[in-house]
Amino acid sequence: MRYEDAVESLFQAAHEQFVAERKRLAGELRAAGDKVGAGKLAKLARPPISAWVVDQLWWRARDAFEALFTTAEQLRRGELGAATAHRDAIARLRAQAAQQLGEAGHAASEATLRRVTQTLSALAAAGGWDPDLPGALSADRDPPGFEAIGISNVIPFPVQPRAPVAAHHAGDTEAAAEHHRVEREAHEVQNAAHSEAQSEAQSEARLRREREAATARAEAAARLRRAEVERARAAAERHRLEAALRTARGEVAQHERAIVKLERDLAAARNTVEQARRSVVDLEDRLAQLDN
């Protein structure tokens, strides 16, 4: 298996199976001796759902995608008559994206479809997928000139108007009107992207605050658990020491009683010895008298 083949297979996998499929394909490349390709594949990030469905459109709606690229190239050449076909191509791909999302069990929300439309416009403006391989986006794309927070008054793809001629020609008047309509629609797309970027920035800020609050709560809970564990450990140690103290005191009392008993036994033994000594002296005296 070549690296390019593994990429194609990976980005056609279901979104929820992406990570497992990446691991499997990287293992196959490594087993085939392509350690460099396996390393590159393992680093490919799972795309957001909006980029994932654009990848699926490339693999499942190639004709509509080719129409998107063809009409975009015509517009770059100043062929304003292609604007309608270009809008139709984007609309067709957007509708198929909603269908793909539904079939895969994902919500086709307006925010997701808007990101899909922007990525399609960006690919059309670029005329291709570079630097990614076709159908292998790992992230959404913004049309040229868009910054992270959005910049107004940028046309999603360059349109070169025809050279001016006499204004009384009806064809030129229609071409000018079509040109203005294309610019107006481009500005509307840009403004929608700007609003979405602001909304996403606010959502990200809110999520960041929520994550920070959740982290703070988790840290506080962890500190409380550690304190509870320490208190339990101290209580267990106190219980152990108190039990040991009771045992030691019992042993001391037992030994003290044994000492008292031994002292009584010793006194009795001394008394017995003294009596024996007196008996010895008495017997010795009697023997001496008999000798005399």
For residue 131, is it within any domain? yes
Give the structural domain span for 38.
1-46
Judge if 63 and 42 occupy the same domain.
no
117 close to 98: Cβ distance less than 8 angstroms: no
**Domain-located, residue 275:** no
Amino acid (1-letter code) at residue 256: E
pLDDT of 173 higher than 80: no
Q: Are residues 176 and 34 in the same domain?
A: no
120 and 8 together in one domain: no
Mark whether 17 and 60 lie in a shared domain.
Answer: no
Q: Are residues 206 and 150 in the same domain?
A: yes
| Residues 195, 84 share a domain | yes
How far apart, in Å, do the first and last CA atoms of the chain sit? 132
pLDDT the model gives residue 285:
85
CA distances from 255 to 175, 229, 243, 249 (A): 117, 39, 18, 10
User: Any residues with CB less than 8 A from the CB of 76 and at least 6 apart, and which?
Assistant: 127, 157, 158, 159, 160
Per-residue pLDDT, 212: 83
- Judge whether 263 lies within some domain: no
pLDDT digits (tens, 9 = 90+) for 233-252: 888 888 788 888 888 888 88
Cα-only R_g, the chain: 46
- Are both 179 and 194 inside the same structural domain? yes
Which comes out higher in pLDDT, residue 278 or 183?
A: 278
* 68 and 14 in a common domain: no
In a domain, 29, yes or no: yes
Amino acid at 120: L
Q: Are residues 91 and 201 in the same domain?
A: yes
- At 272-290, the pLDDT tens digits run 999 999 989 889 888 888 8
Model confidence pLDDT, tens digit, residues 184-227: 655 554 555 455 456 556 767 777 888 888 888 888 888 888 88
258 assigned to some structural domain: no
Residues 90 and 110 in one domain: yes
Report the range of poorest mean pLDDT among 71-80, 114-123, 232-241. Answer: 232-241
* Residue 190 domain flag: yes
95 lies in the same domain as 7: no
Give the per-residue pLDDT at 102.
95
Structurally, how many domains does the chain consist of? 2
Domain match, 2 and 138 both: no
Q: Is the peptide bond before 131 cis (omega within 30 degrees of 0)?
A: yes
Residue range 90-102, pLDDT digits in tens: 999 999 999 999 9
pLDDT for res 190: 52
